[in-house]
Structure 1
Amino acid sequence: MKKKSTSQSAFFNLRVLIASVLCLFGVFVALIGFGLYPGAPLLAQPSQQQTQQWQPHWVVVHSSHNDVSAPLREMATWPLPPAREHEAPENPKTGIVRASGSRPDTVVQNRLMNNLLGNIIPGLNFDGIPFPGVDCNCAPPDTDGYVGLTQYVQIVNVGYQVFDKA
């Protein structure tokens, strides 16, 4: 018959023995640490003199003078400075040379479905100006639109965009 090794025995396990010895050593070190300074709990508590110095005190200040201003409708208005009207400068030249007629325009939409969707039909929508598509980035956006014969103009806060119906 084969003899069982000590590591497989039901009564002896080396790992359990090592863990138990380490735990007992930790408890022993903790007890020695508490025993070295018997007055440690007294050192951790502040003295009565220090406690009295750090008590918060409240200072209440009452208002000395309260006043009511005149209604806005009774106040004098200031004249606005005259605005100088001027014509805006022309758009700057970009220097981009466009070839006329050298190649077909890739943006032209000539399919049947695009022509059908160009008309305003109840129940059909289009995306419009994306969010945030303007400088303001305000929430909620203030949207408005105007319908013309061939175009739709959408205005959102400070930005606008023109959409062709065709």
Structure 2
Amino acid sequence: MVANGPNVSLDAVAKEAGVSKGGLLHHFRTKQALLAGLIDEWFEHYDAAVESLLEPEGTPGRWTRAHIRATFAEEEDDLWAHPSVVTALLGVPEVQQRIDTAADRWRRQTDSDGLHPQRADLISRALDGVTLSDLLWRGQETREHRESTRDLLLKLTEQDGPLV
């Protein structure tokens, strides 16, 4: 579905997955349900990446640094790299609810991470901007610029006091 865009038929999705259309419909009654399943899979992948990047318990900023590193990780088959799929995903109310739930979870992780709220908020907003930039201008930014931005955000986690 990701490679063919949101207008792909369920027949084509079933064929690509190596299942019958009836088998596909057993798990996903509608294309919207399939899109919701796609976002659930992506969030599970992202959450697993974040957890794999966590530093030991008791380390201030560990969730924030894991989110920074996961956000900047290079993904070959990234769901968000396909604007037509993103557009379709954002048009499905169930998907928007899942996005909101995930964003709330990630914000709670960074907000309770031992960093000053100013730092946590600025970094979270910067990561939102990086994600949006990746959606809109993918590939137009040099690797050095991305690494510099990542390193700057990581540097902001080295202290836990207010920014100003």
One fold, TM greater than 0.5? Answer: no
State the TM-score, normalized to the length of structure 2: 0.17
Q: Structure with the greater relative contact order (CA < 8 A, sep ≥ 6): 1 or 2? A: 2
Higher helix share: 2
Higher strand share: 1
